[in-house]
Chain A
Amino acid sequence: MQYHHSCKNPLYPTSLCSFVAMHTMVEVLMVGCTQAEGERLAHEVQQRVWDMERRFNRFDITSPLSVVNTKAAAEAVSVDDELYMALEVCEVFRRGTKGYFSVAPTSVVGLAPYLLNASQHTVQLCSGDVQIDMGGFAKGFAAEQIKTLLIEAGIGRGVVNFGNSSIAAIGCHPYGEWWGVGVENPLCKGIQACEVRLCNSAMSLSGRTPNGEYHIINPHTGVKVAQDELILVEGRSALVAEVLSTALYAAPKLERGAILSQFAGYEATEIYCTADGVKSRKIE
């Protein structure tokens, strides 16, 4: 982990930690804490994220998720509270997004990939083809968890950045009423496509990878979505924003408004970038 503390402005000392987790770079900016307190929190954040990563890592054969993927097609598998809750929330999101968000997008086209039994706390996969991948959920979930951890530790201003695509703000910039986050035009490095103002809110972006590859799968077809626009979602929760941006990107344009309307307090924008400029459209 890299940790940097600055007290050049004694009114607002800042601490920044960064580390790699969940295949991305995690950065946490904390304002107003001492160097020692910032460092302690940074380590706590890192540990929390790594714990989540281990729990949700389908490639780690010892992880609870891996046990589900290998055994739950044949029989119901008992899981711990956190994984059960996560799978429950994912199913709610799947239904709420008309099936365009799914943690098993390639497995069972358009259908519920697993069944949950609340009384037994078990999960059963609907077929042997189902493989659960929490990648589309875990980053937003972790960002929310970190935000809560920091607020409980007394941090009133800060930013949690999960790989530049999922960003949660605590409070606002010490010298403004929001944190101003510029969305980079993917075709013009360093050039801003639009600005998002975050204050006790979060944002998420979905689209092609920085290398230009299509990587989001439409759960209804099982194939990668070949759309060139970015989908920006802003709202209170980093988790909901993350789920929504993925679902809206995967959904046909005509269905996006209806999906968004299920999530009160969230705004979404289609951003079309070219080397010459940017066009955007609010999803309604």
Chain B
Amino acid sequence: MNRKEFLSDCGKMGLAGVTLSLFPWLESCSPKAKLAVQGEKVRIGIIGTGSRGLFHIKHLVQMPQAEVVALCDNYRPHLDNAAQYYPEAKLYDDYRRLLENRDVQGVIIATPLYLHAPMTLAAMEAGKEVFCEKSMAYTLDEALEVYNRRKALGRVLFIGQQRLFDPKYVKAMQMIHEGVIGEVVGVRNYWYRNNNWRREVPSPELERHINWRLYSEYSRGLMTELACHQLQNGSWAMGQLPEKVMGAGSLIHWNKEDKRDVYDTVSAIFTYPNGVNMTFESIISNKHFGMGEQILGTKGTIDLVTAMHYTDEPAPKGSGMHQFIEQIERGVMSNSVFAGTSWAAESSALAPGKPIMQDVKVVSGESSVGAEADGSKELLEAFLHAVITGKQPEKVLEESYYATQFALLADKAMHENAILTLDEKYKVPYEPLK
């Protein structure tokens, strides 16, 4: 089920209003909102046309409301790749020159982490609306500066936290807020891969330029590149922010073949004011468990990645006897298939669970670029809509802001071997999504 079908189905069930009132940032994706901006075009400049930038371009070419007029990258092969999709676009190797282009209304920034904040600030100062990849910034101070400056300038600012726009996450959170799994008592996130996280380097002097994710000078590694996506699950589910953070990180495997200095294994615990813990774990030298995000409640569990609901007290199977009852109620007779060698206890671990919606596309988390049907396309559409209307959607930026802050804080806790709380000066007004 794609987003359009999801919203359409909500409408048929009389849920559209309810869903949109629960999740107001989705309003831009409603048929009514889309109709209101039909025919409008947004002139976009893309800063950073590497793998993630190209991923966005492949979505943008499908969107009639997007007109990419400028492309920028200081690595020529990437720029040339992108130019094939938009031969008419002006090409730049310096983002500052692109920002001088008055034709550009909005920019999409898909560059190394350490450039996110300076580029976002410069773009907003230049009068552009901004979509910047996650994480929002390389430091806690930079994230705050970006947040405050956006507010002062009144610009549209989106951060690439696409789960907020993924229909299966929206549906899952709606169920959680309705109490389907009872009281939330735990949040588990993990992301395992077994690859060196490297990109091919044509020449040794480009190593740090291309493999910036592996060096702490440019990136905070697994926390800002992966965890940031998952850390919003706890606040979205519970409507509150973590109170303290602890963690441990190590470089245990991939440093044997290169000179990287970001952790390749991390574990972090985020404790909420009500005592509930959210965990994040990532290892990139074993991929057996893949990517997982689970909200644990007193009555059951929702797996966000697979969009499955598991109850802690599965009803006794009893289908054979119930079939007999249904037959008798209807005055008919048939056989009932239930006999077997023995009954197997349906413990919650063995219970098969139920899908929370139909035709869910499960994302494995293996790709370092992005995956189809993970909310990225919808997020981009929402950004374009916001640029057209000039209206920043409610709550989304704060959610992204705190995902970044807590990813950075956890990284800091690992390096300092300490239990940390977010300093008051970094706290911005937060309204729960629930």
A residues whose Cβ falls under 8 Å from a Cβ of B = 2, 4, 6, 8-9, 12, 14, 16, 18, 20, 23-25, 27, 29, 31, 159, 161, 163-165, 167, 173-176, 179-184, 186, 190-192, 195-196, 203, 205-211, 230
- Chain A residue numbers with a CB within 8 Å of B289 are none
| Inter-chain contact A12/B341, CB cutoff 8 Å | no
| Inter-chain contact B325/A25, CB cutoff 8 Å | no
The residue of chain B having its C-beta at the shortest distance from the C-beta of A177 within the complex is B333
Given A8-B329, A16-B322, verify A230-B341 contact (CB < 8 Å).
Answer: yes
Q: Report, nearest first, the 9 A-B pairs whose CB atoms are least far apart.
A: A180-B335, A182-B337, A163-B343, A176-B333, A175-B333, A8-B329, A210-B344, A207-B341, A183-B339
- Chain B residue numbers with a CB within 8 Å of A207 are 341
- Chain B residue numbers with a CB within 8 Å of A190 are 337
Which residues of chain B from 134 to 185 have a CB within 8 Å of any chain A CB? none
| Inter-chain contact B339/A165, CB cutoff 8 Å | yes
- Chain A residue numbers with a CB within 8 Å of B333 are 173-176, 180
**Contact check: which of B318, B341, B344 meets A18 at CB < 8 Å?**
B318
B326 to chain A, nearest CB (A): 9
The residue of chain B having its C-beta at the shortest distance from the C-beta of A23 within the complex is B345
**With contacts defined as CB atoms under 8 Å apart, how many contacts are there between chain A and chain B in the complex?**
120
- Chain A residue numbers with a CB within 8 Å of B338 are 161, 164, 181-182, 184
In whole angstroms, how far apart are the Cα atoms of A183 and B336 in the complex? Answer: 9
Name A's interface SS. strand
The residue of chain B having its C-beta at the shortest distance from the C-beta of A208 within the complex is B341
- Chain B residue numbers with a CB within 8 Å of A24 are 342-343
Give 20 new A-B contacts, CB below 8 A, not counting A18-B321, A180-B334, A205-B339: A6-B328, A18-B316, A27-B318, A31-B328, A161-B321, A161-B338, A164-B320, A164-B340, A165-B340, A165-B341, A165-B342, A175-B328, A179-B324, A181-B335, A182-B337, A183-B340, A191-B337, A206-B341, A207-B341, A210-B344
| Inter-chain contact A16/B318, CB cutoff 8 Å | yes
B112 to chain A, nearest CB (A): 49
- Chain A residue numbers with a CB within 8 Å of B318 are 2, 16, 18, 25, 27
The residue of chain A having its C-beta at the shortest distance from the C-beta of B343 within the complex is A163
In whole angstroms, how far apart are the Cα atoms of A250 and B304 in the complex? Answer: 46
**Contact check: which of B321, B328, B342 meets A210 at CB < 8 Å?**
B342
- Chain B residue numbers with a CB within 8 Å of A167 are 339
A248 to chain B, nearest CB (A): 13
In whole angstroms, how far apart are the Cα atoms of A192 and B336 in the complex? Answer: 9
- Chain B residue numbers with a CB within 8 Å of A18 are 316, 318, 321
B76 within 8 A of A: no
| Inter-chain contact A175/B320, CB cutoff 8 Å | no
- Chain B residue numbers with a CB within 8 Å of A9 are 328-331
**Contact check: which of A2, A14, A208 meets B325 at CB < 8 Å?**
A14
The residue of chain B having its C-beta at the shortest distance from the C-beta of A182 within the complex is B337
Q: Mark each residue of chain B from 340 to 365: 1 if its CB lies under 8 Å from any CB of chain A, else 0.
A: 11111100000000000000000000
**Contact check: which of B316, B317, B341 meets A209 at CB < 8 Å?**
B341
B351 to chain A, nearest CB (A): 13
- Chain A residue numbers with a CB within 8 Å of B35 are none
A28 to chain B, nearest CB (A): 8
- Chain A residue numbers with a CB within 8 Å of B336 are 180-182
B332 within 8 A of A: yes
29 A-B residue pairs with CB within 8 Å:
A2-B318, A6-B329, A9-B330, A14-B328, A14-B329, A16-B318, A23-B345, A29-B324, A31-B328, A159-B324, A165-B339, A167-B339, A173-B333, A175-B327, A175-B328, A179-B324, A181-B335, A181-B338, A181-B339, A182-B338, A183-B337, A184-B340, A192-B335, A195-B335, A205-B341, A206-B341, A208-B341, A210-B340, A210-B344
The residue of chain A having its C-beta at the shortest distance from the C-beta of B316 within the complex is A18
| Inter-chain contact B331/A175, CB cutoff 8 Å | yes
* Residue among A161, A186, A196 facing the most chain B CB atoms (10 A cut-off): A161
* Residue among A14, A24, A195, A196 facing the most chain B CB atoms (10 A cut-off): A14
The residue of chain A having its C-beta at the shortest distance from the C-beta of B350 within the complex is A211
| Inter-chain contact A159/B342, CB cutoff 8 Å | no
- Chain B residue numbers with a CB within 8 Å of A182 are 335-339
- Chain A residue numbers with a CB within 8 Å of B328 are 6, 9, 12, 14, 31, 173-175
- Chain A residue numbers with a CB within 8 Å of B321 are 16, 18, 27, 29, 159, 161
In whole angstroms, how far apart are the Cα atoms of A180 and B316 in the complex? Answer: 21
In whole angstroms, how far apart are the Cα atoms of A229 and B125 in the complex? Answer: 76
In whole angstroms, how far apart are the Cα atoms of A1 and B68 in the complex? Answer: 65
| Inter-chain contact B327/A196, CB cutoff 8 Å | no
| Inter-chain contact A164/B316, CB cutoff 8 Å | no
A7 to chain B, nearest CB (A): 9
| Inter-chain contact A211/B339, CB cutoff 8 Å | no
In whole angstroms, how far apart are the Cα atoms of A127 and B235 in the complex? Answer: 63
| Inter-chain contact B325/A186, CB cutoff 8 Å | no
A214 to chain B, nearest CB (A): 11
The residue of chain A having its C-beta at the shortest distance from the C-beta of B330 within the complex is A9
In whole angstroms, how far apart are the Cα atoms of A165 and B334 in the complex? Answer: 20
In whole angstroms, how far apart are the Cα atoms of A12 and B340 in the complex? Answer: 28
Given A176-B333, A181-B320, verify A29-B325 contact (CB < 8 Å).
Answer: yes
| Inter-chain contact B339/A209, CB cutoff 8 Å | no
- Chain B residue numbers with a CB within 8 Å of A210 are 340-344
- Chain B residue numbers with a CB within 8 Å of A25 are 316-318, 343, 345
Given A175-B331, A192-B335, verify A16-B325 contact (CB < 8 Å).
Answer: yes
The residue of chain B having its C-beta at the shortest distance from the C-beta of A157 within the complex is B328
B321 to chain A, nearest CB (A): 5
- Chain A residue numbers with a CB within 8 Å of B315 are 2
- Chain B residue numbers with a CB within 8 Å of A211 are 344
A162 to chain B, nearest CB (A): 8
A127 to chain B, nearest CB (A): 30
- Chain B residue numbers with a CB within 8 Å of A4 are 325
